[in-house]
């Protein structure tokens, strides 16, 4: 074939035609590969392919393996319609798909010709009948990709020539089929991928496409949720699963938290088992809308049911993993103590009867109602098991819900809403439990509850009822934790503070004070201190109100101010009972403080607490109370001021580089001169930590608390200044000169170490 010239080609019409065909084939191949989706190939590119053949009509079918069918689409006017053909030997396209053979028929109406191919084979005339088209020749060829059937290409009616489609036309059809095979495979894979909830994972290279495919398969075999399979086997984090779901459903991903507020009013009429089966649960209200978590926010039927049951269309849907939804349902409906759930309890209350209370006929409610008892018991049990220090029961006026909040780690958070109709019965029940007068509603009262948990443990609660605006009563219950004694080493004292405090508590006599507001952990610290010196050779008396922590070896006394046995009285009796060490819960008054100073001057070690803000302030406060400066200066060993700060969750806290401004603010707060001595410079290695939130700490990013301290040591110089009744300022400056770090400074140092952050430190240090 040497020496071919252009002239030779143009001279041959057959060659020219072949060249035109090649060009057209190349062109259509490119267009097929460039198609956006399968629909475009089936509908828009069909005519271009048809042009390659001298034929009247062409159809491309795609395999739908799930239904064992092939389908195609066509435009009827502007409407997109679908034809479906089963994969079997009964139709011509179906036969090509089922056998993988090329079918070439000269007359579709010739039953013998069809029978010669396969006994079952027939031609469906209905299309012809409707359209008036008369089908004669049919060429149907399977479309393959790597031995995988992708579809069928079918061409009808040769234009000019009688007889069957030629060998050349068959090979052209097979050539087109090959191009289509590749294109359909790619598009189908792409479209399937586009449709999964885990697109995000592939896009972000967290999993390979093949891995996702096998995860689907594996999850199906293991009867496991795909999400779980991805997390378990492919180590995809729950956060990434969440981002993928958010990306796909365009809503928020909600993770389970045991701090979730029980939406008592929303789930009152919903059955637990129903929700567990249907996998949805309301979480609460946001801007007047009900927020529901559901496993599939695109499920219209489910959404319909939800909106019917909640009697509103104002619903926000968020996505959560099925197992998390179940956990939420369990949290809302069940408790670990196998008691009755809120909803059970609320469901059993007779709504009609209780709503009479609305007319302020409170007495109609029978306070002994066992159901109300269970409700209150559940609140106390839940508060205790969540580590709450206080329970706030806050009724609202009118038909608004009662809100119940728990304080955990120093912060209040909503725990549960209870329908308004139960408020009177609930409050009355608590008042009965705490021996308060239920007929007195316009004056504050206080009492105590000794409560035995279902587990047998006894807990004590201090109860305060306070009349609030609108003729209702708030009740606040403080849980008096039966605390464990912690060792002094666990008090998060700085090296200097630990050394100094162990030094002063080993002295035979003198006074040590621990100061701070209520709830700053003074008692815990005092007990840790006592624990350090609690030895058989020492007699230790303590007077406490109440005894929160019990410690073996100590002789602990609960004072009873109501019958005249107060701190001062307890101290006087201790002095007659051969003490080495005396701990007094609080130096509330001059009398107690005076006896304390005297006791420490007569050879006893006295420990106590005061409600003052800082160590230097404590000195001035006691002197202002009338304590003799000379005696006090002699007696004092040291004062430890304390606060509790929330600590960052160790699992999820995030290191980051602070801005220069942020750094400057902290330096300013610490005191620039003092800060200079720390040798911390602003540079690229400097890291701060901030909260993030995870399944361990909930959304806050904080978990637990730690102490920050300010320890003033009564050095000779300080003692001289006390005698001269010097100012707080002067005392503080001198102490700092001698090595004291202030509360704020200690807190900042702990935030530099990543235990907490500046925000929390500032929060507790602001006076
Ligand atoms: Zn965390």
- What confidence tier does 356 reach under pLDDT thresholds 50, 70, 90? very low
Which burial class, exposed, middle or buried, applies to 763 when counting CB atoms under 10 A from its CB (0-12, 13-18, 19+)? Answer: middle
Which DSSP string do the residues of 42-71 spell out, in sequence order? IIISHHHHHTTTTEEEEEEEEEEGGGTEEE
Ligand 1 center from residue 657 Cα (angstroms): 20
C-alpha of residue 199 to centroid of ligand 1, in Å: 27
Tokens of 687: 């890291």
Judged on CB neighbours under 10 Å (0-12, 13-18, 19+), 449 is buried
pLDDT at 227: 87
Report the CATH number of the 6-192 domain.
Answer: 3.30.450.40
pLDDT tier at 347 (50, 70, 90 boundaries)?
Answer: low
**pLDDT given at position 96:** 94
CA 231 – ligand 1 centroid, Å = 18
- Determine contact, residues 62/82, Cβ cutoff 8 Å: no
Residue 288 has what DSSP assignment? T
What is the spatial distance between Cα 713 and Cα 615, in angstroms, rounded to a whole number? 9
For residue 571, pLDDT over 90 is answered with yes
Exposed e or buried b per residue across 736-752, where buried means at least 16 C-beta atoms within 10 angstroms of its C-beta:
beeebbbbbbbbbbbbb
Residues 140-183 have pLDDT tens digits of 999 999 888 999 999 999 887 778 888 888 999 999 999 999 88
Query: What is the per-residue pLDDT for 355?
Result: 40
- Ligand 1 centroid vs 256 CA: distance in angstroms? 13
CA of 703 to the centre of ligand 1 (A): 7
Q: How confident is the model at residue 359 (pLDDT cuts 50, 70, 90)?
A: very low
Instruction: Output the pTM of the full model.
Output: 0.56
pLDDT on residue 674: 92
How would you classify the pairing of strands 605-610 and 581-584?
parallel
Distance, first Cα to last Cα, the chain: 101
Q: What separation in Å is there between the alpha carbon of 620 and the centre of ligand 1?
A: 42
What number is the average pLDDT over the span 753-757? 94
Residue 645, sorted as left (phi over 0), alpha (psi -120 to 50) or beta, turns out to be beta
Model pLDDT, residue 734: 97
Q: Are 390 and 518 in contact (CB under 8 A)?
A: no
Q: Which two tokens stand for residue 63?
A: 């395999």
Q: Token pair for residue 509? A: 């006599």
| 6-20, 354-368, 371-385, 742-756: least confidently modelled range | 354-368
Q: How many CB atoms lie within 10 A of CB 315?
A: 15
Return d(Cα 238, Cα 258) in angstroms, integer: 17
pLDDT on residue 357: 39
Q: Are 497 and 588 in contact (CB under 8 A)?
A: no
Task: Say how many Å lie between the CA of residue 452 and the centre of ligand 1.
Answer: 32
Taking the mean position of all CA atoms in its chain, how far away is CA 123? 61
Cα 655 to ligand 1 centre (Å): 13
| Unique residue bearing structure tokens 């101290």 | 571
Residue 485 CB contacts under 8 Å (≥ 6 apart), including other chains: 527, 528, 530, 531, 549, 551
Q: How far is the CA of 613 from the centre of ligand 1 (A)?
A: 31
Ligand 1 center to 708 CA (angstroms)? 21
Question: With pLDDT > 90 as the criterion, what percentage of the chain qualifies?
Answer: 49
Closest of 742, 755, 740, 747 to residue 501, by C-alpha: 740
- Distance of CA 325 from the midpoint of ligand 1 (Å): 20
Neighbours of ion ligand 1 (CB under 5 A): 649, 651-652, 694, 696-697
Q: Which residue has the tokens 């009616």?
A: 157
**How far does the centroid of ligand 1 lie from the alpha carbon of residue 691, in Å?**
8
On the 0-12 / 13-18 / 19+ scale of CB atoms within 10 A, 548 is middle
Cα 702 to ligand 1 centroid, rounded to whole Å: 7
- pLDDT tens column, 103-136: 999 999 999 999 999 999 999 888 888 888 889 9
Question: Which of 192-196, 222-226, 355-359, 440-444 is the least confident region?
Answer: 355-359
Contact 236, 288 (CB under 8 A): no
Hey, what are 281's tokens? 């649960």
Distance, CA 262 to ligand 1 centroid (Å)? 21
Same fold across 6-192 and 342-480: yes
The pLDDT value given to residue 290: 94
Concatenating the DSSP letter of every residue in 182-207 gives: HHHHHHHHHHHHHTSTTHHHHHTTSS
CA distance 559 to 567: 6
Which DSSP state fits 34?
H
Among 471, 525, 485, smallest CA distance to 638 is for 525
Centre of ligand 1 to C-alpha 692, Å, is: 7
CA of 694 to the centre of ligand 1 (A): 4
Q: Who has greater pLDDT, 719 or 385? A: 719
Residue 483 has pLDDT above 90, yes or no: no
From the CA of 690, how far away is ligand 1's center (Å)? 11
Q: What is the 243 CA–ligand 1 centroid distance (Å)?
A: 18
* CATH number assigned to the domain covering 342-480: 3.30.450.90
Tens of pLDDT, residues 489-521: 999 999 999 999 999 999 999 999 999 998 899
Ligand 1 center to residue 238 CA distance, Å? Answer: 13
What is residue 10's predicted lDDT score, i.e. its pLDDT? Answer: 55
- Report the separation in Å between the CA atom of 756 and the middle of ligand 1, taken as the mean of its atom positions: 13
Distance 700 CA to ligand 1 centre (A): 8
Residue 547 has pLDDT above 60, yes or no: yes
- Core vs surface per residue 375-388: b (16+ CB within 10 A) or e: bbbbbbbbbbeeeb
Residue 341 has pLDDT above 60, yes or no: no
List the chain domain ranges. 6-192, 199-249, 264-333, 342-480, 488-765
* Residue 575 confidence (pLDDT): 94
- pLDDT value for 735: 97
For residue 591, the tally of other CB atoms under 10 A from its CB is: 16
- Topology of the domain comprising 264-333: GMP Synthetase; Chain A, domain 3 (3.30.300)
Backbone φ, ψ for residue 196 (5° rounding): -90, 160
Looking at residue 192, its pLDDT comes to 60
Residue 579: partners with Cβ closer than 8 Å, 6 or more residues away? 539, 540, 541, 599, 604
Question: What is the distance between the alpha carbons of residues 462 and 475, in angstroms, rounded to a whole number?
Answer: 10
pLDDT at 360: 40
**Mean pLDDT rounded to a whole number for the chain:** 87
Measured in angstroms, how far is the CA atom of residue 739 from the centroid of ligand 1?
35
Ligand 1: distance of its center to the CA of 244 in Å?
21
Q: pLDDT tens for residues 137-149?
A: 999 999 999 888 9
Judged against a pLDDT cut of 60, whether residue 354 lies above it is answered with no
- Ligand 1 center–CA 409 separation, angstroms: 15
Task: Choose from 44-58, 81-95, 342-356, 627-641 the range with maximum mean pLDDT.
Answer: 627-641
Q: What is the pLDDT averaged over residues 567-583?
A: 95
The Å distance, Cα 381 to ligand 1 centre, comes to 25
Structure tokens at 464: 């305060």
Give pLDDT, residue 351. Answer: 46
Q: Which of 22-26, 152-156, 267-271, 441-445 has the lowest mean pLDDT?
A: 267-271
**DSSP β-bridge partners for residue 517:** none
Q: What does the pLDDT read at residue 455?
A: 81
- Stretch 316-327: mean pLDDT: 92
Ligand 1 centroid distance, CA of 254 (Å): 15
- What are phi and psi for residue 709, nearest 5 degrees? -135, 160
Q: Read off the pLDDT band of 21 (50, 70, 90).
A: confident
Q: Which residue has the higher pLDDT, 56 or 34?
A: 56
Q: What is the spatial distance between Cα 763 and Cα 409, in angstroms, rounded to a whole number?
A: 14
Average pLDDT over residues 552-567: 92
Distance 654 CA to ligand 1 centre (A): 10
Fold annotation for 488-765: Rossmann fold (3.40.50)
Average pLDDT over residues 397-403: 85
For the record, the structure tokens of 374 come out as 């269970």
Helix-helix angle 495-505:522-533, to 10 degrees: 60
Strands (E), 147-195: 148-158
Q: How far is CA 127 from the centre of its chain?
A: 58
Strands lying side by side in the sheet with 581-584? 555-558, 540-544, 581-584, 605-610, 510-515, 636-648, 702-713
Per-residue pLDDT, 11: 54
User: For residue 664, how far is its CA from the centre of ligand 1 (angstroms)?
Assistant: 28
Per-residue pLDDT at 348: 55
- How many A from CA of 257 to the centre of ligand 1? 11
pLDDT at residue 406 above 80? yes
Q: Please write the tens of the pLDDT for every residue from 689-699.
A: 999 988 788 77
Is 272 a residue whose pLDDT tops 80?
yes
Instruction: Identify any residues that bridge with 315 across adjacent strands, giving them in sequence order.
Output: 290
Taking the C-alpha atoms of residue 533 and residue 540, their distance in angstroms, rounded to an integer, is 9
**Band of the pLDDT at 39, cuts 50, 70, 90?**
confident
How much is the average pLDDT of 306-318? 92
**DSSP-derived 3-state class of residue 145:** strand
CA 699 to centroid of ligand 1, rounded, Å? 8
| Ligand 1 center to 318 CA (angstroms) | 21
Distance CA 752, CA 530 (A): 30
Q: What is the DSSP track for 545-603?
A: SS--B--TT-EEEE-BGGGTB-HHHHHHHHHTS--SEEEES---SHHHHHHHHHHHHTT
Among 63-67, 182-186, 285-289, the range scoring the smallest mean pLDDT is: 63-67
């Amino acid at each position: 074939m040497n020496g071919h010239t252009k002239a030779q080609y143009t001279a041959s019409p057959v060659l020219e035609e072949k060249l035109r065909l090649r060009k057209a084939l190349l062109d259509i191949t490119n267009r097929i590969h460039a198609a956006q989706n399968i629909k475009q190939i089936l509908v828009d590119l069909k005519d271009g392919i048809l042009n390659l053949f001298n034929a009247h009509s062409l159809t491309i079918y795609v395999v739908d393996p799930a239904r064992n069918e092939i389908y195609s689409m066509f435009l009827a006017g502007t409407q997109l319609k679908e034809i479906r053909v089963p994969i079997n030997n009964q139709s011509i396209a179906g036969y090509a798909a089922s056998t993988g053979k090329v079918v070439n028929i000269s007359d579709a109406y010739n039953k013998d010709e069809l029978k010669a191919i396969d006994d079952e084979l027939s031609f469906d005339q209905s299309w012809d009948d409707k359209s008036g088209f008369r089908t004669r020749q049919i060429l149907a060829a399977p479309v393959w990709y790597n031995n995988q059937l992708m579809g069928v290409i079918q061409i009808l009616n040769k234009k000019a020539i009688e007889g069957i489609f030629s060998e050349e036309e068959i090979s052209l059809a097979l050539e087109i089929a090959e191009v289509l095979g590749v294109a359909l495979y790619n598009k189908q894979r792409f479209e399937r991928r586009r449709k999964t909830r885990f697109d995000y994972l592939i896009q972000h290279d967290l999993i390979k496409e093949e891995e996702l495919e096998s995860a689907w398969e594996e999850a199906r075999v293991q009867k496991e949720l795909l999400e779980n399979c991805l997390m378990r086997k492919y180590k995809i984090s729950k956060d990434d699963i969440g981002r993928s779901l958010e990306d796909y459903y365009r809503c928020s991903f909600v993770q389970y938290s045991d701090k979730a507020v029980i939406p008592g009013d929303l789930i009152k009429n919903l059955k637990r088992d129903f929700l567990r089966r249907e996998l949805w649960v309301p979480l609460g209200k946001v801007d007047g809308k009900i927020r529901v978590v559901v496993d599939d926010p695109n499920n219209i039927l489910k959404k319909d049911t939800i909106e019917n049951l909640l009697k509103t269309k104002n619903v926000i849907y968020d996505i959560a993993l099925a197992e998390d939804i179940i956990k939420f349902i369990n949290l809302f409906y069940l408790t670990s103590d196998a008691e009755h759930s809120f909803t059970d309890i609320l469901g059993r209350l007779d709504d009609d009867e209780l709503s009479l209370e609305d007319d302020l006929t409170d007495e109609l409610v029978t306070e002994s109602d066992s159901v109300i008892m269970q409700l209150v018991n559940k609140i106390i049990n839940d508060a205790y098991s969540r580590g709450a220090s206080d329970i706030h029961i806050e009724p609202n006026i009118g038909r608004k819900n009662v809100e119940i909040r728990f304080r955990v780690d120093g912060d209040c958070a909503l725990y549960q809403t209870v329908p308004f109709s139960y408020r009177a019965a609930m409050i009355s029940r608590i008042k009965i439990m705490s021996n308060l007068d239920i007929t007195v509603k316009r004056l504050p009262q206080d009492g105590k509850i000794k409560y035995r948990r279902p587990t047998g443990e006894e807990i004590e609660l201090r109860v305060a009822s306070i009349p609030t605006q609108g003729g209702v009563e708030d009740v606040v219950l403080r849980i008096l934790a039966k605390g464990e004694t912690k060792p002094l080493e666990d008090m998060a004292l700085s090296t200097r503070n630990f050394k100094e405090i162990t030094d002063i508590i080993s002295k035979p006599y003198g006074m040590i004070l621990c100061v701070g507001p209520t709830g700053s952990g003074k008692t815990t610290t005092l007990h840790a201190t006592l624990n350090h010196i609690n030895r058989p050779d020492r007699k230790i008396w303590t007077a406490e109100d109440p005894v929160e922590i019990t410690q073996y070896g100590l002789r602990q006394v609960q004072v009873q101010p109501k019958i005249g046995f107060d701190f001062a009285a307890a101290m006087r009796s201790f002095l007659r009972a051969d003490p080495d060490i005396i701990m007094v819960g609080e130096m509330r008054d001059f009398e107690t403080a005076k006896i304390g100073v005297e006791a420490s001057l007569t050879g006893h070690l006295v420990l106590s607490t005061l409600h003052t803000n800082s160590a230097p302030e404590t000195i001035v406060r006691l002197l202002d109370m009338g304590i003799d400066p000379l005696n006090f200066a002699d007696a004092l060993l040291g004062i430890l001021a304390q606060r509790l700060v929330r600590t960052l969750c160790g699992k999820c806290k995030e290191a980051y580089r602070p801005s220069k401004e942020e750094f400057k603010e902290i330096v300013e707060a610490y005191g620039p001169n003092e800060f200079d001595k720390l040798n911390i410079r602003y540079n690229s290695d400097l890291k701060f930590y901030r909260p993030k939130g995870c399944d361990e700490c909930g959304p806050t990013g904080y978990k637990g608390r730690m102490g920050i301290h300010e320890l003033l040591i009564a050095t000779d110089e300080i003692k001289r200044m006390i005698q001269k009744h010097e100012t707080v300022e002067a005392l503080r400056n001198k102490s700092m000169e001698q090595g004291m770090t202030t509360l704020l400074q200690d807190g900042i140092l702990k935030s530099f170490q990543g235990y907490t952050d500046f925000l929390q430190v500032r929060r507790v240090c602001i006076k």
